[in-house]
Amino acid sequence: MGKRALVCYCVDVDACAGWLNTTTGKSANASDVSRGIFGANVGTDRLLKFFDEQNIKASWFMPSHSIQSFPKQMAKVRDAGHEMWVNSGLHGYTHEYVSRLTEEQERKVMAKSIEVYKSFTGKHPKGWAAPAWEVSPRSMKVLEDFGIEYDHSLMHHDCQPYWASDVTENSVVPTNYDADPGTWMVPMKQNTVRNVVEIPANWNVDDWPPFQFSTRNPGTHGYVNPKDVLEQWQDQFRFFYRENESFVFPISIHPQVSGKSNIILMHEKMVEFLRSHEGVEFVTAAQVCDEFKAGTIAGCSTMELGALPPKL
């Protein structure tokens, strides 16, 4: 069997939700909200046109706020036949940071998001991605409890799917300079794997940090040359292609970022580059999940990642 490189375009339609997540209830900046409106409308339309021209079915992750605030726009995604999963629970309603929620809050947001998604699509969501990829120590257990089959938030590996594990609060001990070193000089405990497939996240193949300028978010740039980012993404793919017989290559994008003119042009060049390699397939994250479960793509052993195998 020849090489297989499964490329997934994962689209986070944060729209206004991400800007409304001020974490304190403080009013959102009107200019930032305007960016979200661009993403829900102009950016979404441009990406739908791009995917249609390239004959690519993408995986769209939507906070419930985006679905309920822009139903006609989000219906275009649904009706175009793309994989559309609400980031059920914690891309949540307004892009809540899961790591800051109590368990009760996390479960309430999950339940509400699934309710909105099922009302909009008539289906139960299959996948989830945490806002800003910030999971809580219990998130994988919550996904398992709510019947979510895959996650796209963790980074135990960068190009192989695997069974996701909880990183529980008692499995790691943080350094505490105010305490005796003997209390925190301890190794990690082995984590328990959940029945949730992990399709790895990767900040190095994400459009937000290099292209979205924000005075309120020091982790963004906004003025990076797309040609430089294109080269970085291509180099990562080249390495994975050289070193693996099969692998996944998720590309995480946002309509308010990749819907911009110069970024669309970058994606056109990226797709052309990817298609120049034998064995490249453009698939949805759901397809990767199904193939990993079926054993048609090997992925990574949970034992290699320092975790116990799942109980099937």
Extract the residue ranges of the chain whose pLDDT is less than 50: 85-90
What per-residue confidence (pLDDT) applies to 13?
94
Q: Give the alpha-carbon dihedral of 177, 183, 185, 190, to 10 degrees.
A: -120
From CA 142, how far away is CA 157, in angstroms rounded?
Answer: 21
From CA 107, how far away is CA 96, in angstroms rounded?
Answer: 12
Nearest to 205 by CA among 254, 145, 136: 254
What are the structure tokens assigned to 230, written together? 């294109």
What per-residue confidence (pLDDT) applies to 84?
56
Q: Give the alpha-carbon dihedral of 271, 253, 127, 106, to 10 degrees.
A: 170
Domains of the chain: 4-308 (3.20.20.370)
Q: Give the alpha-carbon dihedral of 288, 292, 296, 297, to 10 degrees.
A: 80
What per-residue confidence (pLDDT) applies to 307?
62
Element (H, E) at 140: helix 139-145
Give per-residue pLDDT as tens, 37-71: 999 999 999 999 999 999 999 999 999 999 999 99
What are the structure tokens assigned to 208, written together? 């937000």
What per-residue confidence (pLDDT) applies to 2?
86
What per-residue confidence (pLDDT) applies to 25?
80
Q: Which residue has tokens 């980074």?
A: 155
Residues with Cβ within 8 Å of residue 35, at least 6 apart in sequence: 19, 256
What per-residue confidence (pLDDT) applies to 1?
65
The whole-model pTM stands at: 0.92
What per-residue confidence (pLDDT) applies to 309?
55
Give Cα 208 to chain centroid, integer Å. 12
CB atoms within 10 A of CB 169: 11
Query: Are residues 200 and 161 in contact, defined by beta-carbon separation less than 8 angstroms?
Result: yes
Q: Which residue has tokens 């791009």?
A: 50
From CA 105, how far away is CA 159, in angstroms rounded?
Answer: 32
Give per-residue pLDDT as tens, 205-230: 999 999 998 877 777 788 899 999 99
